[in-house]
Structure 1
């Protein structure tokens, strides 16, 4: 169950990322609710179900690195953590795409930023913010 849920969630997130990148093109902008709302909601619902069902029985916590290590030794909680990453990285990617509508970075720069955000979440966000700063001397949400 855990492995198939992991695969399904990863595939769902990947379709969200592909739709997000494709939504940059004017005629495909109408697909934006899929990567911006629908996929994150589905991942969030699955995350909530896992946390509500398995959190109480899991060892560990968030107090120390050792506690976090122990917590993520529970496969269903580890899966919940993966869903958390998938949902939030996609939300940040969607924010980057929306913010870029104001910033106007070329798609040739936006696409690698989205790839970085997909693979290494905060690194993509950092690169986008650095480019924004270099262009307009501002940081933070648009």
Structure 2
């Protein structure tokens, strides 16, 4: 499978997970669907790509003339060398997709448990989809007020 095809496939899996979070009724079946068929498949794809790339089983399709990446060089230059290939971009993007969807599911569950309506959750889920850490930070700020209020009433 080409890197372009893997990119399209991982995006489709992530989109289906986000759509389920935003549109389907939340319950154990939908939660399992998002976790295992969304996050789990993305993690499996990431693992397969990781093994293929670092095991020399797949051509990363590096830009011509670039040396192979040195995984021991954990610096800006070292990481740039890794990501300057189709394989590096797709594996990095899959990493983002998996973790952002996992965080989105946690936000949705936490928001449900704290009594936030689905409409109130959508902006946090959207920002998490588009810019993961910003969405998570926004949710942490907003949830804190509700969590403190709930703790006072207990």
Q: Which of the five TM-score ranges fits, normalised by the shorter chain?
A: 0.7 to 0.9
Cα deviation for residue 74 of structure 1 reads 2.3
Partner of 1:50: 49
**CA–CA distance in structure 2, aligned partners of residues 12 and 83 of structure 1:** 10
Asked if the contact 1:50–1:77 (Cα under 8 Å) also holds between the matched residues in 2, the reply is no
Gaps of 5+ in 2: 57-67, 150-154
Partner of 1:59: 69
TM-score (norm 1): 0.85
Larger radius of gyration: 2
Deviates more, 1:106-115 or 1:52-61: 52-61
Asked if the contact 1:6–1:79 (Cα under 8 Å) also holds between the matched residues in 2, the reply is yes
SS of residue in 2 equivalent to 1:105: coil
Gaps of 5+ in 1: none
> Aligned pair 1:6/2:7, yes or no?
yes
Superposed CA RMSD in Å reads: 2.0
Partner of 1:73: 84
TM-score (norm 2): 0.79
Alignment of 1:9-28 (within 5 A): 9-23=10-24, 25=25
SS of residue in 2 equivalent to 1:129: helix
